[in-house]
Amino acid sequence: MKVGFIGVGNMGGPMCRNIIKNTNHEVIVFDLNPDAVKACTDLGASSGTSVADVAARCDVVITSLPLPKIVEDVTLGPAGIAANAKPGTVFIDLSTNAPATARRVAEGMAAKGIQMLEAPVSGGTARATDGTIVIMVGGDASVFESNLPLLKSFSGEVIHLGDIGFGSVAKLINNMLAFCNAAAAAEALMMGKRSGIDLKKLDMVIRNASGASSGYANMATKAFAGNFAPSFALDLAHKDLRLALELADELGVPGMIAPQVMNLQRMARGMGLGSADSSSVIKVYETALNEEVRAK
């Protein structure tokens, strides 16, 4: 089968390369960044000339794109997937979106005879690379079943949440929790720093005690090394949290914690850290207190 992959950046790149390595499908990629394309064609994929070209040539088209507006352009725009794919094509979106966007895109696809799964992912670039990423799928059960082998070829866990929209709901709730954990970790680590405690020993305690979380582990690893190169850009984390807060608002759930984390992200973006890693929110504390949380 021919699989198209549009958006082969930090997440899409490694997931696409796992499809190339783990299946016999012919993979055709497209990205605005030629270096990102090359990292996939070097492994055996071919490159398409545009979104429309990939959409027209493939049986399944996958996207992993940064922002909801870009997803809408690439899917429903005049040169997009709905306008160019054959009826019967399956479209799978791995991007993080609002549930309402996923439903709107699915309707546009259905009008052209294209079936859609929304399939946001969690696990970051490390698990996208080692093929253990978690995929949260919304969409028709029979489309899910028939595309499960493809999804499994680049992931560790694939969970069908129900109709279109529920994949995004699960993803936004998960990420809201992860960002809250990471922000609490930044605050906790700065407390540790100012207390004078051995940070590596504090870290050993937390990783083995009740404060542990993947948000904590990622924050401590990045902060100790002072490595804020983007594996998950703050701008994208901010997008996810904004979508999660919009969902909380729609559902009437009071925001006691997540809006504070949103403010922390806004401060970090105001400091020019939008394209740095999302863990760079710790620099808000570091700058305010003129002290860095580094440890060897």
Positions touching ligand NAD (CB under 6 A) are: 6-12, 30-33, 36, 51, 64-66, 70, 74, 95-96, 121-122, 124-125, 231-232, 236, 240
In terms of CB distance, is 213 or 231 closer to ligand NAD?
231
Supply the minimum distance, in Å, between the C-beta of residue 39 and ligand NAD: 10
**Minimum distance from CB of 291 to ligand NAD (Å)?**
28
Give the number of other CB atoms < 10 A from CB of residue 201: 11
Q: Both tokens of residue 269?
A: 């973006």
Angle CA(95)–CA(118)–CA(163) in degrees, nearest 5? 150
Nearer to ligand NAD, 31 or 286 (CB): 31
Q: Closest approach of Cβ 215 to ligand NAD, in Å?
A: 12
Which C-beta is closer to ligand NAD: that of 29 or that of 202?
Answer: 29
Pick the closer one to ligand NAD by CB: 64 or 147: 64
Q: 37 is written with which tokens?
A: 């394309």
Closest of 64, 151, 76 to residue 112, by C-alpha: 76
Residue number of the CB closest to ligand NAD reads 9
DSSP 8-state class, residue 60: E
Q: How far apart are CA 112 and CA 140, in angstroms?
A: 16
Calpha distance 166→63 (Å, rounded) = 18
Q: Kindly state the smallest distance separating residue 290's Cβ from ligand NAD, in Å.
A: 30
Answer yes or no: 171 catalytic: yes
Catalytic-labelled residue, pool 171, 193, 239, 283: 171
Distances (CA, A) of 241 to 78, 83, 180, 181, 182: 29, 31, 10, 13, 13
The residues annotated with a catalytic role in the active site are: 171
